[in-house]
Amino acid sequence: MDQDSHCTAERELLEAVSRITTFSTTSPADKEENQPKAEISCQLRKENPEKDDLKDSNATLSPHSSMTTKELQEYWRNEKSQCRQVKLLFEIPSTRIVEHHLSKYVMYKIIILQTGSFDSNKSVIERRYSDFEKLHRNLLEEFSEEMEDVTFPKKTLTGNFTEEIINERKLAFKDYLRLLYSMKCVRRSKKFIDFLTRPELQEAYGCLRGGQYPKALEILLEVIGLQERLTRGNPVSIVPTLCAIMVCHKDLENPASAFEYGEKALSRLRVHSSHRYYIPLLETMITLAYELGKDFLSLQEKLEEWKAKKDPVRVFTLKELAVREYVQ
């Protein structure tokens, strides 16, 4: 009887474990069955970004991954934090009228804050009416159904610079950005993210190419925070910016800061060894680690391991890659 009781208890334990396992491995698709069809449609219509830069951060780990337990734990902690939903608030507190040669236009100051907590790293950008108009046109091409009921402030033939019209547009553009951000497919699209970050990035990379490293670094440090908020579900996409910051720090002879940003970039490429920045980043990190007296052997091992698996190819340096970004 004791043996039968023991077997029965063992079976009950196994069944309980099975139930727990089944519950915990429920597919995300099962959880989303009750989502509105429009939301699901919106997700499916999301733009496919660049092949390497914008892969889903939840990609399955390679069975040949050489990551240590510590690196694996660090990777998943980073992934977990990246998946937390971030809600942004858009404010347009002021404007300024710009007169340049024969043109005259209004620049709208946009402040972007993270809601739910005190955000000391608010982002501030400026855009003009034609920038908003171009964004609207681009989004209509890609998300015609989702944008069907989204209204856009119309142009007027006269009175564009009156206080009344400017104030009306300030409120209209604030509501417009809020509405766009509320649609997952739009806020994750490259066109929306480019609207909020591309002009600043183009200026920063132009300064970098011209050897104006302090100015380039200043702009890049301002824009990286906004990029992180906008691309939480896709951390790999900000690797080029992190590497550009690294290049600036290195050329300004700040090896410790360069190494810090290199670590941030490398942590986002743990399972993306085919990324075009991976090898140049590793090579630069090895140089910096040696200069700073840090462990460079583990980085060297990763580099040798990659080279052993791949055919020899021409690899650009990190700086050569950086100066090729955002070339108009």
What span, in angstroms and rounded, lies between the C-alpha atoms of 285 and 194?
Answer: 29
Task: List the pLDDT tens digit at each of the 328 positions of the chain.
Answer: 454 554 454 455 445 444 434 433 344 444 444 444 344 345 445 444 444 444 444 443 444 455 566 566 665 555 555 445 568 999 999 999 999 888 999 999 999 998 876 656 789 999 999 999 999 999 999 999 999 999 998 888 787 899 999 999 999 999 999 999 999 999 999 999 999 999 999 999 999 999 999 999 999 999 999 999 999 889 999 999 999 999 999 999 999 999 999 999 999 998 898 999 999 999 999 999 999 999 999 999 999 988 888 766 667 999 999 999 998 6
pLDDT at 11: 53
Token readout for 50 is: 């660049």
* Domain architecture of the chain: domains with CATH: 82-188 (3.30.1520.10), 212-327 (1.25.40)
pLDDT at 26: 42
What span, in angstroms and rounded, lies between the C-alpha atoms of 324 and 320?
Answer: 7
**Residues in contact with 19: Cβ distance below 8 Å, sequence separation at least 6, in sequence order:** none
What span, in angstroms and rounded, lies between the C-alpha atoms of 192 and 71?
Answer: 33
pLDDT at 100: 85
Query: Hey, what's the torsion of the CAs at 203, 208, 211, 214, to 10 degrees?
Result: 80
With H, G, I as helix, E, B as strand and everything else as coil, classify residue 50: coil
pLDDT at 325: 95
Helix (H) or strand (E) holding 319: helix 318-322
pLDDT at 73: 60
**Which pTM value belongs to this model?**
0.74
**Listed residue (197, 190, 178) closest to 139, CA to CA:** 190
